[in-house]
Chains A and B, each alone.
Chain A
Amino acid sequence: MEVRFSGLLLRFTGYERTVTVKANTVGKALESLRQQFPQLGPVLWDGTGKLQRVHRLILNGEVISSNDRRALRDTDRLEFLTAVAGG
């Protein structure tokens, strides 16, 4: 499946906007990303291992939880949208 990054996450993927991961669940896709881009981990997950609230996870255009259990297909597309602003 395809995973798309934008905004401030790009520097943690080496500015790769689209990557392909082999995963049949959201959890496995996120784990695969963690292994592929170790520096992305602390940015995506909070101290308890949950996805930080500033990130929205979007599966085929639908906002989902990082605990979403549905089975994924190769044609699915996962995106991150990070909504932050300065002070």
Chain B
Amino acid sequence: MEAVGEFVQQRWGELLDEVGAGAAERYAAGEAFPRKYLIQAAQKSLHGLALPREIGGEGMGSNVWGRVLEEMTFRCDESAFSLVVSMTTSIAFTLYQSGDARLIDNYVRPFMSGELAATLAFTEDADFWSWGTTLTRDGDGGVLSGRKSYVTGGLISDVFLTYAAAEPGRLAACLVHRDDPGVRLIPAEGMGFQSAGMAVLEFIDVELGPERILTWTDGLDHSQLYLNERRSMQASWTVGRMRGLVARCAARLRTTTRQGQPVLDYANVAGALGRMHMLTDVAQTMTHDVLDRQARGETDLVYDAKISAAKHFSAEQAMNLAHQALRALGGHAYYGDEYYGRYVRDCAGLIPAGGTQDSLEITIGALVAKNLL
């Protein structure tokens, strides 16, 4: 990771410092980080890092990109920044994989240049088959109606990869633009990610041409191909955040004394720091392993149990780390440094995001029960 760290610092270090400078204030005010930083990052070739050279990327692959994402999250106090960037890159990767030249020219290239930013419009407070968002056929195109309840980076994105109920039992996938007539973005109120531009996205009879509809019938498979890959990126982001917490916690503990002694001389405090490091190290090892497996083509493209396990473990341990930090740092973590509050609120969102922890456990359990793992 040292080489990746140096690479990130060299190419984007200055930008990450600038983005991170106002993070705490933005979070407190509930303001999204400025869109200009997405453009600047793209101009420094962040978005095209993993994409192939023949379309203007750098061809470094998703295993390098995952590590860069981790490192950016570790280094930048504005943790929403890498999260939102990764939404665009994941969608760019999905559209590139379609092999559709029109999608590559109209979306993937503008994503790489920073001209457009994209995110996922998936979540409703319902299962797939009970979604209220519908895409109805209208001539060659369709009409989209409904509401997505929590869209990461929605307020600062231009394109939404949207999944909707179509014919009975089928899901459709389509691309919606923020300036399409009938699209309405409303700031979403959630527990965390206050600077990530979270949005409620409403569709009021949005007319979509056929070129915007990726599939009328196979949205279930389409979504799972996207979300499976996405889970390793979520794990990468989480590991970066965990590393940040451990580093901040250790720095504080090194300068803290109690009863006239350095607090790290207390065995329980040193032990807590050791546990935090080990948990982070294991989460990182699991995540790097799945990134490398993905690069080697060794993962199941629709549902990979090891990717799900990396997401699950990192999300659980991110919350565990917060608990450990509160115990080791005492009141300081609760009222002395707002960083920990942001961390807890954001990382709580990792439990439901990317497939709830319970749903991942159930599926992995079913695979084990049938002797498939």
A42 lies within 8 A of B167 (CB): yes
Q: Restricting to A43-87, which residues have a CB under 8 Å from any CB of B?
A: 43, 46-47, 52-54, 56, 58, 61, 63, 79, 81, 83-87
A43 lies within 8 A of B224 (CB): no
Residue of B nearest to A42 (CB): B169
Q: Restricting to B220-262, which residues have a CB under 8 Å from any CB of A?
A: 220-221, 223-225, 227, 230-231
Q: Closest CB of chain B to A30's CB: distance in Å?
A: 15
CB neighbours of B352 from chain A (8 A): 86
Q: Closest CB of chain B to A51's CB: distance in Å?
A: 10
CB neighbours of B169 from chain A (8 A): 12, 39-43
CB neighbours of A43 from chain B (8 A): 169-170, 220
How many residues of chain A get a CB closer than 8 Å to chain B's CBs?
26
Residue of B nearest to A40 (CB): B169
A8 at the interface (CB under 8 A from B): yes
Q: Quick check: which of B5-13, B66-74, B120-128, B183-191 contacts chain A, the rest being far away? A: B120-128
A7 lies within 8 A of B366 (CB): yes
Given A6-B366, A43-B169, A54-B221: A85 and B353 within 8 A (CB)? Answer: no
B43 at the interface (CB under 8 A from A): no
CB neighbours of A47 from chain B (8 A): 215-218
A28 at the interface (CB under 8 A from B): no
Q: Closest CB of chain B to A25's CB: distance in Å?
A: 22
Contact with A along B361-373 (1 / 0, CB 8 A): 0110011001110
Given A86-B356, A86-B359: A54 and B372 within 8 A (CB)? Answer: no
- Report the Cα distance A70→B31, complex, angstroms: 61
Contact of A56 among B128, B371, B372 (CB under 8 A): B372
Residue of A nearest to B302 (CB): A53
A11 at the interface (CB under 8 A from B): yes
B227 lies within 8 A of A87 (CB): yes
CB neighbours of A81 from chain B (8 A): 366-367, 370, 372
A84 lies within 8 A of B353 (CB): no
B266 at the interface (CB under 8 A from A): no
Which residues of B are interface residues toward A (Cβ below 8 A)? Answer: 120, 122-123, 127-129, 167-170, 215-218, 220-221, 223-225, 227, 230-231, 301-303, 308, 352-356, 359-360, 362-363, 366-367, 370-372
